[in-house]
Structure 1
């Protein structure tokens, strides 16, 4: 009797559930149509020549058409809609009441599947062969796309390692014959590492990229798929989360775009992403890329969803990763830390397309590493690193020129720029010019350092002399903080120096300029931290003026651009960028030392005493200051001489 009552109650509850599902079931609308013009093409006028030339045009394929038909058929009947609605209800319940993650709930219920590309589309941008062996796929989901990449690379399933946070999806991956460990493998020498739509859904995108770089063999491939415009959200399981949508938050270590982002055109989003990548991971060299629709099978509202996606294949080069450059400038040490010029605050409204978006588990960022310098590298270069400004110049040049550097003139040579140039591939010869004899910019030390480098020559001279290197031209000319130092060797000669620089560039060649925005352009005297920097800077320069000493005179970026725009038919600005400069107590202490030593050269005793007293007051303020000023700016400009 009790059993019969239980069966009746169960049947009644099931009937109520079916009735509820039927009453809430609505007609599923078809997803947006996919067209070549909208989803596979790019506007080449918005791309640099190098980025345009590396683009591979794709088109809808048979695999995508089959995927769309399966998605349509799954919701083309009342039973299909009821099943989809039931799964959606359980999917949300698992996250709200059990705190399951989105991938775990999706994997358990076999929810929406995703389509990135066909095997042929992967093969069209991947290299014919790569060193090492095997494939590492980060954020594999169900493994459907992993299998295509493995086939395109001719990698057997047993040589495929998948990293997936969902325990349920790990089981699915193992059933396909892939390895699916619970944690990232230590080291590795894979021929390729793939991250398909992972970077915008994980807590540490730079850590995920560094994992890929560390895991691939030198010269191997990193394959990245990314929805553009870039918008990062992390989905997580949370008990009693909102019923209407999966619990989301911003990443713990966000991927900050170097230039804009948000609702920008696809092409601008691509350029912004690559600029950030070049600054943070300069070893990644873009080989080929394509534009594809990122398609998710549908739900109770639409048969499928579409987002714009870039699929990119990078070669892992031998570059050295570096985040900070420190150097002395006439006794005034500056510390530069490249930071992103902007941060995208935009967030995609609502949920991701479909309920089964994949995510990678939050892992601790692996430690960055430096490769051993080649034996011919001078000892003075072994501990120097390339900052984001140097990376911007090199990457912008590569994107626009495509070919190697050729013959290079370092028009204001020093160990910072020399060491950077020695690390660039494609440099045939380097001519280092300096007007000094001693110090890190001096011809004596540079000559000793380059003695074992037959492709490096040191030229001592002053550009104000018309007889110095007359008529010679180079493929690439570098002016690394040169314009700010002109005043010391060519008073009021900044415009003349610009003319000399432009004249040394071969037709079709490039001029790379770095500089420091004058403090008075970017700092505010009414702000205490800015006032201290301005006071320390001005006391040193004033002391030098009264002592009859030459000093630096920084040139603003807008002035440099105006000089180039005088010749619109002959030169064009390829790209320019400003970078945050960190001024620490250490750098201000160095400037205090410069001011003190310069003030001692003042001949008038009263002036000297007054200056030294003021320097002593500022020195106490600097010693008491524990902060870091990030209001300063340095800049990089890439210019081409037209053919």
Structure 2
């Protein structure tokens, strides 16, 4: 997954808490102040009701879409990721080094490549058990081939991989490709992955809002999917398109017509205005947090994700 633009600074919805009163006492020294703020942010995170991540107001949905909603919840894999993020965030010398390195490397490397080089900023979207719930399969289910588009450092892929006998991946960043190869995934060319092969499951997690031609990508996915195949698609909402490299204004060539003022309204728009015209049918969907490892400011960050399981619409 292209993870660069989902850095910690873009996931600051957790900072909505008013910390003014708790920060009235200001320790002297920039590092002391940073650690004090981090302590207050992490205190808020520890008290935050994580069930909120998965809530959706289905009364705003048409019945045909509401009936396909799968209620998920925090599971052990999610808690393990949060625990790991908290431990890494507390490695203060490492976090200081990362801050300095990012400031220097940012002049000539993308944020994705920086994260890959520093091996930091890993993401979490969905656990294996949550994926089984979305796919509506039992614990013994396995499929043949998974293709994970824009797989990043492979942390997200690793939660999906045990359900498949073979895992393919694509990734633009050279440093991230190196990490994927170390995990044993077969890397495909980013321009030719859809040629001469069809897949049982294609995952496209938080990518269509970070690529230049998202409708073209969805068309490629539909043509590379086996007739009975499935697509696992995740999109951050509220929708905000951003292309990390290539476009001088960071805007994609193709703008997706996603509208609505609430999470639920935008989910409906994704289905009606993007997926249906692209010849996809929703099998199931849910709301999950798109989690990212933290830094010297706080232990982890998140954005709101809608995640779909899709199939090709039947030709009549």
Alignment-derived partner of residue 228 in structure 1? 237
- Once the two structures are TM-superposed, the CA of residue 182 in structure 1 deviates from its matched residue by 3.4
Deviations 1:81-126 (A, max 9, x none): 2321321221232121xx2122111100112111111100011112
Whether the 8 Å contact between 1:102 and 1:236 is mirrored in structure 2 is no
Secondary structure of 1:286's counterpart equals strand
1:192 and 2:192 equivalent?
no
Match of 2:106 among 95, 99, 107: 95
Instruction: Provide the residue aligned with 2:125 in structure 1.
Output: 116
Q: List per-residue Cα deviations over 1:282-309 (Å, max 9, x = no partner).
A: 2x11001111111111122111112111
Deviations 1:362-404 (A, max 9, x none): xxxxxxxxxxxxxxxxxxxxxxxxxxxxxxxxxxxxxxxxxxx
Pairing 1:267–2:259 present: no
Change (3 A) 1:54 1:34: farther
CA 1:233–1:25 in structure 2 vs 1: closer, same or farther (change >3 Å)? same
Greater Cα radius of gyration, structure 1 or 2: 1
Superposition map of 1:561-576 within 5 A: none
Q: Is the 8 A contact 1:54 1:288 kept in 2?
A: yes
Alpha carbons 1:125, 1:289 under 8 Å: kept = yes
| In 2, Cα distance between equivalents of 1:201 and 1:265 | 21
Q: Which residue is 1:50 aligned to? A: 64
- 1:287 equivalenced with 2:283 (yes/no): yes
Say whether residues 1:308 and 2:304 are aligned partners.
yes
SS at match of 1:55: coil
Work out whether residues 77 and 127 of structure 2, in 8 Å CA contact, stay in contact via their aligned partners in 1. yes
Q: How does 1:143-292 map to 2 (within 5 A)?
A: 143-151=154-162, 154-156=163-165, 159-183=166-190, 184-185=192-193, 186-236=195-245, 249-257=250-258, 260-261=259-260, 264-282=261-279, 284-292=280-288
CA–CA distance in structure 2, aligned partners of residues 135 and 292 of structure 1: 21
* TM-score, normalisation: structure 1: 0.41
C-alpha distance in structure 2 between counterparts of 1:166 and 1:43, whole Å: 37
CA RMSD of aligned residues (A): 2.6
How many corresponding residue pairs? 279
Structure 2 partner of 1:75: 89
Q: Deviations over 1:56-103 (max 9, x none)?
A: 111111111111122222233xxx22321321221232121xx21221
Unmatched tracts of structure 1, length 5 or more:
1-19, 239-246, 320-422, 424-643
Residue 213 of structure 1 deviates from its aligned partner by 1.1
- Counterparts in 2 of 1:236 and 1:299: CA distance versus 1, 3 Å: farther
Q: Distance in 2 between matches of 1:149 and 1:73?
A: 24
Distance change (3 Å), C-alpha of 1:120 and 1:92: same
Change (3 A) 1:280 1:88: farther
Q: 2: CA distance between counterparts of 1:34 and 1:182?
A: 42
Q: Assess if the C-alpha contact under 8 Å between 2:51 and 2:73 holds in 1.
A: no
Shift in Å, 1:279 = 4.7
Runs of 4+ in 1 over 6 A off after TM superposition: 129-132
- Paired residue secondary structure (1:192): strand
Post-superposition offset of 1:197 = 0.7
CA distance in structure 2 between the partners assigned to 1:316 and 1:149 by the alignment: 21
Question: Distance between the aligned counterparts of 2:32 and 2:89, measured in 1?
Answer: 16
Unaligned runs of 5+ in 2: 1-28
Paired residue secondary structure (1:122):
helix
**1:61 corresponds to which residue?**
75
Residues of 2 paired with 1:193 and 1:165: CA distance?
17
Q: CA deviation at 1:253?
A: 1.7
CA distance 1:248–1:141, shift in 2 (3 Å) = farther
Per the alignment, do residues 237 and 21 of structure 1 end up closer, same or farther by CA in structure 2, a change over 3 Å counting? farther
2:9 matched to which residue of 1? none
SS at 1:54 equivalent: coil
3-state SS in 2 of match to 1:234: coil
CA contact (8 A) 2:257 2:274 kept: no
Mapped partners of 1:165, 1:65: distance in 2: 29
CA distance in structure 2 between the partners assigned to 1:104 and 1:207 by the alignment: 25
User: Structure 1 residues 278 and 164, CA, compared in 2 at 3 Å: closer, same or farther?
Assistant: closer
